[in-house]
Structure 1
Amino acid sequence: MALSHAILSALTERPCSGYDLAKQFDGSVGFFWHASHQQIYRELTKLEQQALVTAEAVVQEGKPDKKIYRVTEAGKLQLKAWIAQPSKCTPTKDDLLVKLFVGYLVPHATVQATLEHERAQHVAALEAYRAIEQKYFADPEAMSLAARFQYITLRNGIHFETSWLAWCDETLATLETLPADRASPWAKPGEDIHP
């Protein structure tokens, strides 16, 4: 997926300024597609040049003028064509997993501390998702079609965080049962890889 598709997707919710889009991005699409505010502004310029969005200048009292961006019919067509294409499975890039792969190189407490730090972030993410669910999606039967699709993506986030936390807790429990032997699997018997 290109950033352009994420921006077009966000703008279909409502036309808005680049600033408002960047804030909206942080609270919706940004949960599964990260982009800096600078990247968003650059991409908006490209989308406008390609006639996939239009920008209407709005005069503001005591503030610089702002542009309100809207998806054009061409932008909607491109978004629909993109939705119809099969998605590619994204390879995992997770430095925590690389650290765990060679976790035997350090004391278990070091690995546990790293996991506990990551766990706290995932707990916070799950709590944020649950709060969004309660605030905006408390009654799935009363949702609009658009809201139901947005809820589907939120449920993915909730399932991911729940699954990740279960794996983390399992891993922390496993670390408690591991022997303190820190030898490399390639070391000679009895050879410790630490000074």
Structure 2
Amino acid sequence: MSLRNAVMATLLEGEASGYDLAKGFNASVANFWTATPQQLYRELDRMEREGLVSARVIRQERRPDKRLFSLTDAGHDALRAYLAEPLGRPTAIRDGLLVKVQCADIGQLTAVRADISDRMEWARTKLDRYERLRERLLAGRTEDEYLAGADRVGPYLTLLRGIAFEEENLRWGETALRVLTARSS
């Protein structure tokens, strides 16, 4: 998947400025795709040149002008084409922490345990953010009510995957800490 597809998926929510996209990107697709604001702005410029998005300028008095981006018909067509493509192999885990854990038996268990604890704290922070997003999406409805009546369920389903991922990070971290602590005593 490319950043372009993730940006177009985010724009399905409606028109947004680059700043709003960067902020919203962290809230809506950060559970499965990350990008810096600079990467987003470069991609938006390319997408505009290619006719996948259009931008309109909003003049502001005390701030720089704001560009609001929206998907064009060509952008919708590109997303449909992307959906029709086979994905290929699943993404492999590439995680520096796992390399450290793989080497933990040769020493530095205290440092490896600290890294695992840091990762667990990161997972808890993300889970808190994801739960706030879930509450906002549900807006007082039950999950069943939301899934039966929402205009779009994709954002909620990807959110559930992000929640499951971080919950598994916590479960694995607890196991790894328990084993490494027992081995160091």
What is the TM-score normalised by the length of structure 1? 0.84
- CA separation of 1:15 and 1:179: change in aligned 2, threshold 3 A: closer
Distance 1:157 1:144 in 2: 19
Residue-pair matches, total: 179
| Residue of structure 1 in register with 2:23 after alignment | 23
| Cα distance in 2, alignment partners of residues 21 and 67 from structure 1 | 11
Q: Give the CA deviation at 1:49.
A: 0.8
In 2, Cα distance between the equivalents of 1:47 and 1:149?
Answer: 22
CA offsets per residue over residues 119-158 of structure 1, 9 Å max, x none?
1111111222122222322522144131x22111111011
Q: Is the 8 A contact 2:109 2:184 kept in 1?
A: no
Q: Does 1:134 align with 2:135?
A: yes
Which secondary structure state, in structure 2, belongs to the residue aligned with residue 55 of structure 1? Answer: strand
Structure 2 spans left out of the alignment, 5+ residues:
none
Q: Determine what percentage of the aligned residue pairs are the same residue.
A: 35
Preserved CA contact (<8 Å) 2:27 2:133: no
From 171, 176, 184, the counterpart of 2:176: 171
Paired letter, 1:42: R
Structure 1 counterpart of 2:94, which letter? K
Partner of 2:46: 46
- Secondary structure of the residue that 1:178 maps to in structure 2? helix
160-169 vs 61-70, which moves further: 61-70
Flag the structure with more relative contact order, 1 or 2, with Cα contacts below 8 A and sequence separation at least 6: 2
Match of 1:190 in 2: none
Counterpart-to-counterpart distance in 2, 1:160 and 1:14: 27
Question: Could you say if the C-alpha distance between residues 53 and 135 of structure 1 is closer, same or farther in structure 2, counting changes exceeding 3 Å?
Answer: closer
- Indicate whether 1:155 and 2:160 are aligned: yes
Give deviations 1:27-52, integer Å, cap 9, x for gaps: 11233211111111111111111111
Alpha-carbon distance in structure 1 between the residues aligned to 2:46 and 2:184:
56
Is 2:151 the counterpart of 1:145?
yes
Q: Distance in 2 between matches of 1:29 and 1:179?
A: 39
Cα separation, 2, equivalents of 1:102 and 1:116: 17
Distance across 2 between alignment mates of 1:114 and 1:68? 40
Q: How does 1:7-18 map to 2 (within 5 A)?
A: 7-18=7-18
1:74-113 alignment to 2 at 5 Å?
74-88=74-88, 89-113=90-114
